[in-house]
A and B are shown apart, each in its own frame.
Chain A
């Protein structure tokens, strides 16, 4: 059977499974819709959080990105894991004890202010929308790469599937679908990882193969021979300050992202909320420690397979021919010697205004004759390792699972911010349970359709979207929630001032330096890392303004004391 047929079978089976879970998990009440009835056991919540967390970008692009960045790729490896330590200790247990539905719920109640609630709604919706758009684009990409379906069609298939299980099953449906999605994506990621480790080093455990085989010294040597810096050499693309700032921004941003935070509302007890942060990071770490190993193996293998070989010869290799056809791999014989040379610099100039190579316009300032798209590192691994077509099909299903699980987690945040926080808590507090549930379902349907529209017509700043999401989460929610729990003296005025200044400063810096040629006026910090400074500003302003304004009312101080104590949380029943 062909790879494409296998892929259709595996993808359709996985979609059937997701819809089946959605039907099984259909919910009748808002508690089920928003927080899965608080019945998710910690290991399952860990898997759901991991799937929620690991996006299309983590699955498809991260290993490739790291293989280009070398050491500097640590910004993603540490940045997208370190936040869980903060979540486990500083946020998750207390928010679970607080026991409402959303992040704006906490901000609005703790800061006894509808203004604070609305600021939080705006930030939650904006952050989640910026993040969901690339996910849907990712669904389209997987469909087009593996199945030859136009990416726009693929995107809408993804939208419909997500809408089906999310509207019926709410958070409960999303959670258990994410558990299934995690299992599919991690198997799809690890099998090729094991296989390529075994082939290149003789040790099938990628983490051990990376550390104890001689693959890293061999890659370093290869890089030196070709005129590149060594792979392990730090600060080649980014300064030490920027590595520090970006890593911190991604960590604190993780801890401030609403779709991650609300996962901890779904456990039966406070103790389970803490434990599920541990399980979540363990499940994430399985992929995040494998990815840098794949980066090394794939880079070594690509250079070794291509450099100095004749173009005729490498085109005989199946995977080379296949990926050259898609344009993810491109060759140009600049010196007409019939052989490929890999060197520093670009093989092709970019198509003006994009970062895509123009195949008709070789960059003559460099000797490099090979263009390698980052995504190829993960996509080609199973073929390089000569795995069965079934496994290649599984990788496609894994990529889709990663994108859909993250998209659905974000959509529930958008829907709950609009239908719970805005409609129920601000506009119509007398709404009946049935009305609220209906509004919630309409909310998620609207959210997925709007996100689909933007996925099809992505805004021009799509490349900066991730920087936006993390920067804004770090500079708004993280300080507001942290101080809300750990500092009783933090007042409504302080928190609002801090959030507004953090958001405005961070957005201004990102937009100004990315689009309006503004110099990087804060120590040359790149826009990806500026959220760290926005967060520090937020902390400083919140603390200062709080000391100048009257202390919070007694019942708020009591609320803070109560969230600090685990006992007395409204217990959920395990599903």
Chain B
């Protein structure tokens, strides 16, 4: 396959990964650890929000991030004609 197409495909992959890993880091290290105290001032249901992220929410976000990545990559694979 030609070089320009390979580079375009890789760039699209990298930028998707970068965006999703920013969310990954903000939710896990940010909301659940660094910002847990201010977020605990807010309640979700009857649980402090920072605590909820640390024990529930972040794990759910992780699952969603992977399935979103899978769906997007399947699309990008077809778009650059590198799918299997």
List A residues at the B interface (Cβ < 8 Å).
Answer: 66, 71, 73-74, 77-78, 81-82, 84-86, 88-90, 93, 207, 210-214, 216-217, 232, 234, 240, 243-244, 247-248, 251, 269-271, 274-275, 277-278, 281-282, 285, 288-289, 292, 561, 564-567, 569, 571
Give residues 13-52 of B contacting A (CB, 8 Å). Answer: 13, 17, 20-21, 24, 28-29, 32-34, 36-37, 40, 44-48, 50-52
Q: What would 13 more interface pairs be, CB under 8 Å, given A89-B17, A213-B46, A271-B84?
A: A74-B32, A77-B54, A78-B59, A82-B24, A85-B24, A88-B69, A211-B44, A232-B40, A232-B47, A277-B66, A282-B63, A292-B55, A564-B9
Looking at chain A's contact residues, is the secondary structure mostly helix, strand, loop, or mixed? helix
Q: Are A74 and B33 neighbours in the complex by a CB distance under 8 Å?
A: yes
Cβ of A210: which chain B residues have Cβ within 8 Å of it?
47, 55-56
> Please, could you name 15 A-B residue pairs with CB atoms under 8 Å apart, sorted by A?
A82-B24, A85-B20, A88-B70, A89-B17, A89-B21, A211-B56, A216-B46, A216-B47, A248-B29, A270-B84, A274-B70, A281-B63, A285-B62, A289-B60, A292-B55
Q: Are A567 and B60 neighbours in the complex by a CB distance under 8 Å?
A: no
Q: Are A244 and B59 neighbours in the complex by a CB distance under 8 Å?
A: no
Q: Are B10 and A234 neighbours in the complex by a CB distance under 8 Å?
A: no
Q: Are A565 and B21 neighbours in the complex by a CB distance under 8 Å?
A: no
Known contacts A78-B58, A214-B46; decide if A281 and B66 are in contact (CB<8 Å): yes
Q: Are B65 and A565 neighbours in the complex by a CB distance under 8 Å?
A: no
Q: Which residue of B lies closest to A66 (CB)?
A: B55
Q: How many whole Å from A283's CB to the nearest CB in chain B?
A: 10
- Give the interface centre of B32, B34, B58 by most chain A CB atoms within 10 Å: B32
Q: Are B55 and A567 neighbours in the complex by a CB distance under 8 Å?
A: no
Cβ of A81: which chain B residues have Cβ within 8 Å of it?
58-59, 62
Cβ of B56: which chain A residues have Cβ within 8 Å of it?
207, 210-211, 289, 292
Known contacts A211-B52, A274-B70; decide if A247 and B29 are in contact (CB<8 Å): yes
Looking at chain B's contact residues, is the secondary structure mostly helix, strand, loop, or mixed? helix
A85 to B20, CA, bound (A): 9
Q: Are A234 and B47 neighbours in the complex by a CB distance under 8 Å?
A: no
A271 to B54, CA, bound (A): 30
Q: How many whole Å from B63's CB to the nearest CB in chain A?
A: 5
Q: Which residue of B lies closest to A274 (CB)?
A: B70
- Give the interface centre of A66, A84, A269, A566 by most chain B CB atoms within 10 Å: A566
Q: Are A278 and B45 neighbours in the complex by a CB distance under 8 Å?
A: no
A292 to B17, CA, bound (A): 29
Cβ of A247: which chain B residues have Cβ within 8 Å of it?
28-29, 33
Q: Are A271 and B74 neighbours in the complex by a CB distance under 8 Å?
A: yes
Cβ of A244: which chain B residues have Cβ within 8 Å of it?
29, 33-34
Q: How many whole Å from B58's CB to the nearest CB in chain A?
A: 5
Cβ of A274: which chain B residues have Cβ within 8 Å of it?
66, 69-70, 73
Cβ of B28: which chain A residues have Cβ within 8 Å of it?
78, 82, 247, 251
A212 to B46, CA, bound (A): 6
Known contacts A71-B54, A89-B21, A210-B56; decide if A281 and B62 are in contact (CB<8 Å): yes
Cβ of A234: which chain B residues have Cβ within 8 Å of it?
36-37, 40, 50-51, 54
Q: How many whole Å from B81's CB to the nearest CB in chain A?
A: 8
A84 to B63, CA, bound (A): 9
A334 to B58, CA, bound (A): 43
Q: Are B54 and A74 neighbours in the complex by a CB distance under 8 Å?
A: yes
> Would you call B1 an interface residue if the criterion is a C-beta within 8 Å of the partner chain's C-beta atoms?
yes
